[in-house]
Amino acid sequence: MSDLGKREPKGRTSVELFAGGGGLAMAVHKAGFRPLLVNEFAKRALETLVENGASLRDPEDTSTPRPGHGRPGRWAEGWPLVPGDVRRIPAFDFLKDAEVDLLAGGPPCQPFSLGGVAKGDEDERNMFPEMFRAIREMRPKAVICENVRGLLRPSFKPYFEYIKREMSLPFERRGKGATWEDHDEVLRGLLDDGSVDPSERYDVVHIPVNAADYGVPQIRQRVFIVAFRADLGVDWDKHKPEPEYSEAALIDSMHEGTYWKRHDTAPGIDVIRERVVAALPPASLVPDGKKPWRTLRDALAGLDGNDPLPSLTAMDVRGKVVVDNIPDHMGWPGARVYTGHTPNELDRPAKTVKAGVHGVPGGESVMRLDDPTFDGTGYRYMTVRETARVMTFPDDWVLAGPRGERMRQLGNAVPVRLGEVFAEAVHAALDDAERRA
């Protein structure tokens, strides 16, 4: 995969719903899709998209939008941004003439998250029906949805399978008053008898992922749903991205020393190496041939063209100082560690970034420092910029709002690198299908 920020758009088009702070939208753009439309509801996320160059568009406007172009440091430049609830967009039919290549989005996940109310399809926040409406009205060639692993829980399996069948046959609408089980029975019958025109049917797969396996310096368990219009003859198996990074390769690199060579200027690194290696399992007898998982230390030192982030002093933390005028690299006091609230370790991928500043369970916003005497604790809160690093946002992406809102946007986002891996694979699959047509 290319380094973030080095790929020029190739001319394919995309639409992004539930864009949030822009992680998946940026990933899709970097993979060569030019956004025809971006939609978001949350006030601060909208401000973030506008700060990065998106142009507000009237939801009632039915003229064909011009695709946004973007450039490094201004990725959202020209993105036509429709603010507000997607349910208030009257129709997407005006996009059919634009031949949308990719519809992407992460429908709000609270109905399926372990932290949500677990009502599934009964929850009014379930936005999958809006994805299906958009598919019907714009007929995209491909669809990418990213969501939480809660979708795969045994208690949700029947409904999740129904979601995939509904995406397979989006034109077969659920009748008024019908339960989802009634609708699912109809969909099963149509898929079994093969009577649906391929131009109105989608081939749908889901892929469970850990973002760390795809080069993101963070443990983040998610699921991608990918769909292609059946009449295109796309061979997804040929292009589906496979994990390129592994924990075993990270352990091996620590045992044989290449990991530590990357960080040989860090103060006290020899002592740190001795401590970390002593706690590791043995090196692999047969290496798996993959790249090492990327760690929090890697992210702070600089990945994908980013410069190292400067460290913070205890005074920076107590005074909420913005260090070296780097946006969002500001100290924040009050970090604590206790049973059940454990910190990120520098020489592991970060824990899952969640939508909160403090108070999220597990200590995901706290990091253990190399200096155990730092501020009398050896811990501090991660800065917003450090958190953006482990979500693989480029340093020039501006986040709007107070700290809590910026952290919320990051916790709800798709890591840019992970999204780009899947968007590039979809792009390649479409290219290949068109060459064979």
Quick one: pLDDT at residue 73?
Answer: 63
Quick one: pLDDT at residue 7?
Answer: 43
Helix, strand, coil % in the chain, rounded to nearest 5: 40, 15, 45
List of domains in the chain: 12-243+414-436 (3.40.50.150), 293-411 (3.90.120)
Quick one: pLDDT at residue 92?
Answer: 86
Quick one: pLDDT at residue 90?
Answer: 85
Structure tokens at 278: 């002593």
Positions marked active-site: 109
* 3-state SS string for 278-346: HCCCCCCCCCCCCEECCCHHHHHHCCCCCCCCCCCCHHHHHHCCEHHHCCCCECCCCCCCECCECCECC
Quick one: pLDDT at residue 185?
Answer: 96
Quick one: pLDDT at residue 39?
Answer: 96
**How large is the angle between the packed helices 43-51 and 403-412, nearest 10 degrees?**
90
15, 8, 5, 11: which is closest to 35 by C-alpha?
15
Find out whether 97 and 132 touch, Cβ atoms under 8 Å. Answer: no
107, 93, 171, 170: which is closest to 138 by C-alpha?
93
Q: How far apart are CA 290 and CA 270, in angstroms?
A: 26
Q: How far apart are CA 403 and CA 328, in angstroms?
A: 8
Residue tagged 């620590």 (tokens): 254
Quick one: pLDDT at residue 364?
Answer: 78
pTM: 0.92
Output b/e per residue, 180-205; b: 16+ Cβ within 10 A.
beebbebbeeeeeeeebeeeebbbbe
Q: How far apart are CA 207 and CA 32, in angstroms?
A: 22
pLDDT in tens, the chain (437 residues): 444 444 444 479 999 999 999 999 999 999 999 999 999 999 999 999 999 999 999 888 888 888 877 766 677 888 999 999 999 888 888 887 778 999 999 987 666 555 544 555 566 778 899 999 999 999 999 999 999 898 898 888 888 999 999 999 999 999 988 888 999 999 999 999 999 999 999 999 999 999 999 999 999 999 999 999 999 999 999 999 999 999 999 999 999 999 999 999 999 999 999 999 999 999 999 999 999 999 999 999 999 888 999 999 999 999 999 999 999 999 999 998 888 889 999 999 999 998 754 445 556 799 999 999 999 999 999 999 999 999 999 999 999 999 999 999 999 999 999 999 999 999 999 999 999 87
Element housing 426 (H / E): helix 416-436
